[in-house]
């Protein structure tokens, strides 16, 4: 095959492909990539990646600098902003071209768009359905709590009047059960305190949760940490964020209990630029990914996962994720989930701008 044939193949690929020189300057761009990234071949070839797409795809440069890859790797859910202001979410596969002596001759980058439109509408769908259920629950909870207070008080009065102390067993059941119900309703209502926002380091939150769960699980679960040390502090409520993360990591721990092989939970952080949450675009967000290698979210729960009282565990109350969602929403953030057997990712995105909380 001659090289014009190869060029023709590349020109007709519907996949967006970039080929870079080892100094990360552009050697080739496929027409599909030109269209997707709004770049033109004539003006782009020879430019370095950071000139071509400033502040985008930095992971390639970082990886190249720190540990040149010796095989292909894929970064999923990468955000790219085009010059006209479009935000794309793509999966990027980077394959090094290795020459003799194992030196890298260049990089081939394949860019696959993730269905962005579907993702945004799902986010909005999630947020609105969440608000509707929250409103419903709030109403219901007040209806339950009022008579519950009366019931408990009456049982206490009755206990004092009882002629036979043995009968107190029954009044104490009423009191204990109303307390239990009240605690459940309070959990359903979610954190009632306004978040107290202070600058905090997300890694400190993650480490707190990790230490806690590591102590509970001992050797049974391996926690892998992949933190981005350049992540700036964010304004958040420490206790609430710990709760939000703990619920998710604990689910992972519980899910992997049925694993035959090793149980691994990965905590991963990165800075993401130009990320849209709801309808608002943020310049900088903190992306936390919590992954486990358990069996995945049961198919029938996927759509309703974040709803209160949705549980796939016999002993579960189904409130964990609803609470995490409420807390993250109060920080103007977003939680998303991707799951397949053997890999479940929960992604938490929290804006890093100073004014990032709902008041």
Ligand X SMILES: Nc1ncnc2c1ncn2[C@@H]1O[C@H](COP(=O)(O)OP(=O)(O)OP(=O)(O)O)[C@@H](O)[C@H]1O
The binder of Mg ion chosen from 79, 243, 251, 325 (CB under 5 A): 251
Compare residues 96 and 320 and give the one whose CB is closer to Mg ion: 320
Total binding residues toward Mg ion, as defined by CB under 5 A: 2
Residues in contact with Mg ion, shown as a per-residue x/- string from 291 to 320 under the rule CB under 5 A? -----------------------------x
252 scored as a contact of ligand X (CB under 6 A): yes
**Which of 202, 319, 329, 334 is close enough to bind ligand X by CB under 6 A?**
319
Should residue 190 be labelled a site residue for ligand X when binding is judged by CB under 6 A?
A: no
∠ CA 322-256-126, nearest 5°, is 25
Q: How far apart are CA 111 and CA 89, in angstroms?
A: 10
Q: Does 344 sit near ligand X (CB under 6 A)?
A: yes
Tell me the closest approach of the beta carbon of residue 272 to ligand X, in angstroms.
Answer: 22
Choices 93-101, 145-153, 269-277, 295-303; region in contact with ligand X by CB under 6 A: 295-303
Give the residue with the Cβ less far from ligand X, 262 or 298.
298
Instruction: Decide if 137 contacts 188 (C-beta within 8 A).
Output: yes
Nearest alpha carbon to residue 68 among 113, 101, 33, 90: 101
Sheet of 221-226: strand order equals: 221-226, 263-277, 280-292, 343-351, 334-340
The C-alpha atoms of residue 24 and residue 58 are separated, in whole angstroms, by 11
Strands 16-20 and 26-29, sheet pairing? antiparallel
Query: 3 by DSSP, 3-state: which?
Result: helix
Q: Which of residues 208-247 bind ligand X (CB under 6 A)?
A: 247
266 part of the interface to ligand X, by CB under 6 A: no
Beta-strand relationship, 263-277 and 221-226: parallel
Q: Which of 292, 326, 327, 328 binds ligand X (CB under 6 A)?
A: 292
Q: What is the number of other CB atoms lying within 10 angstroms of the CB of residue 8? A: 11
Binding partner of residue 129 among ligand X, Mg ion, none, CB cut-off 5 to 8 Å per kind: none
Which of 37-45, 152-160, 251-259, 294-302 is the region at the interface with Mg ion (rule: CB under 5 A)?
A: 251-259
Nearer to ligand X, 43 or 313 (CB): 313
Which one of 121, 128, 132, 317 is in contact with ligand X (CB under 6 A)? 317
Query: Which tokens belong to 50?
Result: 């950071």
For ligand X, the binding residue among 106, 195, 236, 294 (CB under 6 A) is 294
Give the DSSP per-residue string, 281-328.
EEEEEEEEEEEE-SS---GGGGGGTTSTT--SSTT--S-HHHHHHHHH
Judged by the rule CB under 5 A, the positions of this chain that interact with Mg ion are 251, 320
């Amino acid at each position: 095959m001659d090289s014009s044939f190869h060029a023709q193949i590349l020109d007709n690929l519907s996949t967006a492909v970039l080929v870079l020189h080892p100094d990360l300057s552009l050697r080739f761009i496929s027409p599909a990539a030109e269209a997707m990234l709004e770049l033109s071949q004539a003006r782009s070839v020879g430019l370095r990646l950071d000139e071509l797409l400033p502040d985008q795809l930095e992971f390639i440069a970082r990886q190249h600098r720190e540990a040149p890859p010796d095989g292909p790797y894929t970064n999923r859910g990468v955000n790219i902003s085009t010059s006209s202001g479009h935000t794309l979410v793509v999966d990027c596969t980077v394959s090094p071209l290795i020459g003799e002596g194992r030196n890298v001759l260049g990089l081939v980058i394949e860019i696959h768009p993730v269905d962005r439109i579907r993702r945004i509408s799902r986010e909005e769908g999630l947020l609105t359905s969440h608000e509707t259920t929250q409103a419903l629950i709030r109403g219901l909870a007040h209806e339950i709590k009022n008579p519950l207070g009366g019931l408990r008080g009456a049982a206490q009065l009755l206990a004092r009047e009882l002629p036979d102390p043995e009968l107190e067993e029954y009044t104490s059941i009423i009191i204990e059960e109303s307390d239990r119900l009240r605690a459940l309703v309070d959990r359903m209502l979610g954190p009632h305190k306004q978040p107290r926002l202070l600058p905090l380091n997300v890694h400190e939150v993650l480490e707190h949760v990790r230490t806690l769960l590591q102590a509970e699980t001992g050797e049974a679960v391996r926690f892998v940490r992949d933190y981005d040390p350049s992540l700036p502090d964010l304004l958040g409520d420490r206790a609430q964020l710990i709760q939000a993360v703990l619920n998710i990591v604990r689910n992972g721990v519980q899910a992997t209990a049925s694993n035959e092989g090793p149980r691994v939970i990965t905590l991963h952080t990165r800075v993401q630029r130009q990320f849209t949450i709801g309808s608002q675009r943020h310049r900088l967000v903190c992306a936390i990914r919590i992954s486990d290698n358990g069996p995945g979210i049961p198919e029938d729960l996927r759509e309703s996962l974040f709803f209160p009282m949705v549980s796939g565990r016999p002993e579960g109350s189904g409130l964990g994720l609803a609470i995490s969602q409420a807390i993250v929403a109060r920080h103007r953030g977003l939680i998303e989930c991707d799951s397949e057997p053997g890999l479940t990712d929960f992604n938490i995105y929290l804006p890093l701008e100073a004014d990032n909380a709902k008041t």
